[in-house]
A = this chain, B = another copy of it.
Amino acid sequence: MFIRNAWYTAAWAEELGDAPLMRRILNEPIVLFKDKSGRVGALQDACCHRAAPLSAGRVVEAGLQCGYHGLVFDTSGACVHIPGQEKIPQKARVRSYPVVNKDKTIWIWMGDPEKADPSRIIDYPYHDDPKQWPHKFGCYHIKGNYMLMVDNLMDLTHVGYVHARTIGGSPSIHTGAKMETVPLDSGLKFSRWMLDSVPPPTYAKAYKFKGNVDRWQEFQYIAPSHIVQWSGAKDVGGGAYEGNRDNALQVRLIHALTPETETSCFYFWSVANGFNQDDPNTTEFLFNELKDAFMEDKRTIEAQQERLSELGEKQLVDIISDRARVHMRRTVDRMLAEERGT
């Protein structure tokens, strides 16, 4: 049960080179490709002739060519060439999906094409500002429903347990955080402040803090599958809480969760560094630390999915830290109900 009328991240733009790229999205096999003019296409990954995957073919002048008998398709899905045959039957075409290449991201719309409004795509200008926000892209395949990974990001008390050795630090810092949650039409946002707290291992390695720090996490969830994050820390007394974040250690992330199947997803993330930007090692270091931390999440979610697949969710008990998570789930349930007209 997926929300279809939404823009999902299909790929980072840098993933799409000369070769086509296969990705299963909302349980449909999709081939992404860039034609010779640079236009991006997203087609059902099966030739209309004998169903060979088009992703095993190659990009030719006229479009994407099937590697089996040579049929060629353009980005609209129309067959434009059949070897040894003049006339191309009208029904010789494959399904195409709206795609947009924006902010270094390939966005795909899996629902009603009439409703695919590009203006509804998130703005994330940091990908276009490598000087101020140098960044790197990552992607994990996770054997878990995408919602489990959104859950994960909505309840940050997990950080002290799952990520104790990286971005976490002491659990009590997280459970004691000053949290403010604001519901939005499109999802919600929340901020968490850990004032006068011990910096976590990753932060302490990246920056010589004088002692304790004022640390923040600002998250915005845009339903159903994107989370924008701004996190950082500054020496106590530096005025971070009052709004002065100059010279603070800080990162901006976008997390995109794209369903592959009911029990698997792609976790796309990018890490943009807003501190010591001229030193590529700093960006690299922060990226690698977060990459390790997200691998910890991946393992946790995959183990959780195994149990949920077997035991279901009925017996589960919500706790206080679930507040944002529960709000998020209600938003998604409402979108699903609306889409089904129920």
Residues of A within 8 A of B (CB): 29, 44-46, 48-53, 56, 65-71, 82-85, 89, 91-92, 151, 155, 157-158, 160-162, 171-172, 175-176, 299-300, 303-304, 306-308, 310-311, 313, 315-321
Contacts and interface: CB of A to CB of B under 8 A. Distances in A.
Contacts of A175: 70, 83-84
Contacts of A56: 299-300, 303
Given A84-B320, A84-B321, A157-B84, A307 B70 contact: no
Given A29-B310, A157-B84, A315 B48 contact: yes
A317 B52 contact: no
**Copies in the assembly, this chain:** 3
Contacts of A308: 51
A299 to B, nearest CB: 8
A168 B50 CA distance: 20
Contacts of A320: 82, 84-85
27 contacts: A29-B307, A48-B316, A48-B317, A49-B316, A49-B317, A50-B151, A50-B304, A50-B316, A51-B308, A51-B311, A51-B313, A51-B316, A53-B303, A53-B304, A53-B307, A56-B300, A67-B161, A68-B304, A69-B155, A82-B320, A83-B172, A83-B321, A84-B157, A84-B175, A84-B320, A85-B320, A91-B317
